[in-house]
Amino acid sequence: MQKSYFHNSKSVNASEAYAPKYNGEHQKLNVDINTLLNRVKIDERNEKKQKILFFFSVILVIIMLGSFISILK
């Protein structure tokens, strides 16, 4: 007896859900290591930029709160 599961409002049989998808064509993918390394470098630069931006925005908020509090007193 096959069980059926619901995922995103679609009924899927258990045997279909775990069956490998193979369309009869086996295609090799060529991977360029330089492209991958460049992508990693760019991702690292973007992470550094985000960290610096976050740091300066936190510092700016602290300075603005300090000046606001000093103005009120």
**Domain limits, the chain:** 4-72
- The model carries a pTM of 0.52
pLDDT digits (tens, 9 = 90+) for 4-20: 555 566 665 655 555 55
d(CA 39, CA 34): 8
Residue-level pLDDT at 24? 62
Residue-level pLDDT at 17? 54
pLDDT digits (tens, 9 = 90+) for 32-66: 899 999 999 999 999 999 999 999 999 999 999 99
Is the four-CA dihedral 51, 54, 59, 62 of positive or negative sign?
Answer: negative
Residue-level pLDDT at 31? 83
Residue-level pLDDT at 34? 93
d(CA 37, CA 45): 12
